[in-house]
């Protein structure tokens, strides 16, 4: 309770409330505008937040992320074009409801289900993050190496598309992470005599290019032609029958999303698909799904928003990102001079508890934004890409340049953008690459430290109980992911996301 009170005291400061409002508003805008997504936006806005103090910076970035989960449902329902990958399932029944003249109840269901799920998931984070952080303090170098290996392998198993391509992206990310001076000896590696590379590749430039610029190029290449079902949304309030029908789907979606959110990779995407499948399977009228069933909106929206909140647990307790947005937040921690991991709760209690408390405030602000201001979000869908995208690129370039006033950063954005675009064309995800880049130095540091402590004895990774258990779990995940039946189901799920 002391921690929660400290968090509320921090989060309720007027400046932090305004920062939270700015974050969730930007997140909603990003979710509404199809084709950008929260990962690209967090990457693009990362340079701007470095002028804030650490608490405000992370509150804003977190608000952008879970705000985009709310906003993504608006375009999914109104124009059948999800603004965020986890809103794909919402479009199945939400858009059908809109065509039947029930866009208002569909949007209200998405907002209320998201608010409930986000609030409950925040309680889960507050309850489970502190004890997990205390357990993590007992980890040695070998244990940390093993848990990073577990995270990387799990992200490969849960990545969409080819597992082999995901593995290749992880390896590429690890290799890019080795560029610069050696952590232990300060010897330059893979710098080719370029002075700007001695400090390693710039995280912000790489992230902005891989996710922001590459996504913009892809959207310009394949524009979507979509029309609004309705330009004026009315009748937002739900009937008594609607409340009765969504009650249990929201509870089940919240529970499932809270559990799956901690998984590395696409936990929030899997949560929305899994909750929809569960509701359809246990429903007495499964034939209604896909034709405007309100349960098909309530369950996935609750699941993906619960997963968005609980994905902060591995970040706050172990310093390990569950997906690309969390990897960007790891970068934000490091640039602010804070080492993410179990020590944050003791070294930076205001940051730890303030961030958790801001989730409650942000969820409340999002309900206030999404329901009364729905008309504004609808009108935003008419903004032409020819105006929007050049402004975003200019904004991101200025932000990156302002960090160190080095023109090299602008060239790095362009190079990373081209790399990201070609990766998309080749069917490779950039997310595993970024995870490998962020976790690579941590993996190398703990491997070498464990080797120094054990005097070069590799058995240290299997003789320590925690390390051995984590490596065994990683092996089990890989074996399960390679089973034919599991692989087929995985392909079906992510094929649905791509469609």
Q: Give the model confidence (pLDDT) of 249-293 as tens digits.
A: 999 989 988 888 777 655 667 788 788 888 888 888 888 887 888
Inter-residue contact 224 to 82 (CB < 8 Å): no
DSSP of 335-357, one letter per residue?
A: HTT---STTHHHH-HHHHHHHHH
pLDDT tens digits, 62-100: 888 888 777 777 777 777 666 566 667 787 788 788 888
Helix (H), strand (E) at residue 181: strand 180-181
Confidence (pLDDT) at 251: 92
Whether 72 is covered by a domain: the verdict is yes
Whether 136 is covered by a domain: the verdict is yes
DSSP of 91-124, one letter per residue?
A: HHHHHHHHHTT-HHHHHHHHHHHHHHHHHHHHHH
Whether 463 is covered by a domain: the verdict is no
Confidence (pLDDT) at 37: 67
Query: Tokens 């990156």, residue?
Result: 400
Cα–Cα distance for residue pair 345/341, rounded to 1 Å: 8
Q: How many CB atoms sit inside 10 A of residue 267's CB?
A: 25
182: helix, coil or strand? coil
DSSP of 216-262, one letter per residue?
A: HHHHHHS------S-SS----SPPHHHHHHHHHHHHHHHHHHHHHTT
Whether 450 is covered by a domain: the verdict is no
Residue 102's domain spans which residues?
A: 2-140+207-415
Whether 440 is covered by a domain: the verdict is no
pLDDT tens digits, 425-468: 888 877 788 888 888 888 888 899 899 888 888 888 988 888 89
Q: How many CB atoms sit inside 10 A of residue 123's CB?
A: 15
pLDDT tens digits, 387-433: 777 877 777 777 677 666 778 888 888 888 899 888 888 888 777 88
The pTM of the full predicted model, rounded to 2 decimals, is 0.74
Whether 492 is covered by a domain: the verdict is no
Sorting pLDDT into bands at 50, 70 and 90, what band is 475? confident
Core vs surface per residue 156-185: b (16+ CB within 10 A) or e: bbbbbbebebbbbbbebbbebbbbbeeeee
pLDDT tens digits, 188-205: 888 888 888 888 887 778
Tokens coding 85:
């990958």
Q: How many CB atoms sit inside 10 A of residue 484's CB?
A: 7
Cα–Cα distance for residue pair 340/312, rounded to 1 Å: 11
Domain count, the chain: 1
Q: Which residues pair with 180 in a beta bridge?
A: 189
Mean per-residue pLDDT over the chain, rounded: 79
DSSP of 139-177, one letter per residue?
A: --HHHHHHHHHHHHHHHHHHSSS-HHHHHHHHHHHHHHH
Whether 251 is covered by a domain: the verdict is yes
Q: How many CB atoms sit inside 10 A of residue 49's CB?
A: 23
Handedness of CA 387, 390, 392, 394 (dihedral sign): negative
Whether 449 is covered by a domain: the verdict is no
């Amino acid at each position: 309770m002391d921690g929660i009170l400290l968090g509320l005291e921090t989060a309720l400061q007027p400046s932090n409330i305004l920062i939270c409002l700015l974050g969730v508003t930007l997140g909603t805008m990003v979710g509404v505008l199809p084709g950008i997504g929260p990962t690209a936006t967090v990457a693009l806005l990362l340079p701007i937040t470095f002028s804030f103090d650490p608490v405000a910076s992370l509150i804003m970035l977190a608000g952008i992320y879970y705000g985009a989960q709310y906003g993504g449902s608006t375009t999914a329902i109104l124009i059948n074009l999800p603004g965020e990958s986890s809103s794909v399932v919402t479009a199945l029944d939400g858009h059908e409801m809109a065509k039947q003249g029930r866009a208002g109840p569909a949007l209200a269901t998405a907002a209320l289900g998201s608010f409930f799920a986000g609030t409950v998931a925040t309680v889960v984070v507050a309850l489970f993050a502190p004890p997990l952080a205390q357990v993590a303090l007992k980890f040695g170098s070998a244990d940390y190496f093993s848990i990073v290996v577990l995270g990387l392998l799990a992200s490969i198993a849960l990545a969409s598309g080819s597992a082999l391509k995901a593995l290749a992206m992880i390896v590429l990310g690890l290799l890019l992470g080795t560029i610069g001076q050696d952590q232990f000896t300060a010897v330059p590696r893979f710098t080719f005599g370029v002075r700007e590379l001695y400090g390693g590749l710039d995280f912000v430039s790489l992230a902005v290019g891989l996710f922001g610029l590459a996504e913009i190029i892809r959207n310009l290449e394949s524009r979507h032609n979509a029309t609004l079902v309705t330009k004026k949304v009315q009748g937002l309030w739900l009937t008594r029958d609607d409340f009765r029908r969504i009650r249990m789907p929201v509870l089940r979606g919240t529970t499932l999303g809270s559990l799956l959110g901690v998984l590395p990779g696409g936990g929030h995407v899997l949560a929305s698909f899994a909750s929809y499948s569960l509701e359809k399977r246990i429903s007495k009228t499964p034939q209604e799904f896909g034709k405007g069933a309100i349960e098909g909106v309530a369950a996935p929206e609750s699941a993906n928003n619960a997963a968005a909140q609980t994905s902060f647990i591995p970040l706050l307790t172990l310093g390990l990102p569950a997906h690309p947005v969390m990897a960007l937040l790891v970068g934000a921690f490091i640039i602010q001079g804070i080492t993410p991991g179990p020590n944050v709760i003791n070294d930076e209690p205001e940051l730890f508890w303030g961030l958790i408390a801001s989730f409650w405030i942000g969820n409340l602000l999002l309900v206030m934004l999404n329901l009364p201001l729905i008309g504004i979000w609808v009108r935003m869908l008419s903004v032409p890409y020819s105006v929007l995208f050049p402004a975003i690129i200019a904004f991101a370039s200025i932000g990156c340049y302002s960090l160190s006033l080095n023109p090299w950063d602008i060239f790095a954005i362009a190079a990373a953008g081209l790399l990201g675009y070609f990766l998309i064309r080749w069917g490779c995800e950039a997310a595993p690459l970024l995870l490998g880049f962020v976790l690579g130095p941590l993996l190398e540091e703990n491997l070498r430290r464990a080797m120094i402590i054990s005097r070069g004895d590799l058995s240290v990774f299997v003789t320590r109980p925690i390390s051995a258990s984590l490596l065994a779990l990683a092996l089990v995940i890989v074996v399960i992911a390679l089973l034919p039946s599991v692989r087929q189901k995985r392909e079906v799920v992510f094929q649905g996301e791509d469609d």
